Structure 1
């Protein structure tokens, strides 16, 4: 029975590590895409930091990425930046790749 118990503990530990990494990648991605959007809106460095944090917080409103996309698209349009849903989604994908690259470099 110990072999099965050991295997179960190993699977549980791997699952926990994978979930932690997925959370960290999403949070980093949201920060990066917030910085991208802030640059589009020509915010100051202080405003950029605050905005990136607000984008990270927006992700906790509902499951999935729609809450973040809604915030980014709404804020960009309100600031007079010509953009659309596809552009925001593309930026989200690009920043996801960058976030994963950055976090893998830290590991």
Structure 2
């Protein structure tokens, strides 16, 4: 029975590590996405940092990516940038790849 318990604990530990890594990748992706949008809006470096943090915070409003997409589309449109949801989703996908790459390099 001990080996079964050990396996169960190992699977639980792996699941916890995987979940933590997924959370970190998404947070990094959102920060990169905030930087992408800030560059399009012509924000200063200080404003870019604050905006990227705001995008990360926006992801905690609801499950999924819709809250982040809504924020970016709304902010870009309010800044007079011609954009649509499809462009933001493409940027989201591109930044996800970059975030994963960065996290793997950091290991």
Q: Shorter-chain TM-score: which interval?
A: over 0.9
Shift in Å at residue 11 of structure 1?
0.2
Name structure 1 gaps, 5 residues minimum: none
Name structure 2 gaps, 5 residues minimum: none
Q: CA RMSD in A?
A: 0.3
Shift in Å at residue 13 of structure 1?
0.4
Partner-residue secondary structure (3-state), 1:80: coil
Q: Which residue of the partner structure matches residue 38 of structure 1?
A: 38
Q: Which residue of the partner structure matches residue 2 of structure 1?
A: 2
Q: Which residue of the partner structure matches residue 75 of structure 2?
A: 75
Describe how 1:1-107 pairs up with structure 2 within 5 A.
1-107=1-107
2 CA distance for matches of 1:47 and 1:21? 27
2 CA distance for matches of 1:83 and 1:34? 15
Count of residue pairs the alignment pairs up = 107
Structure-1-length-normalised TM-score: 0.99
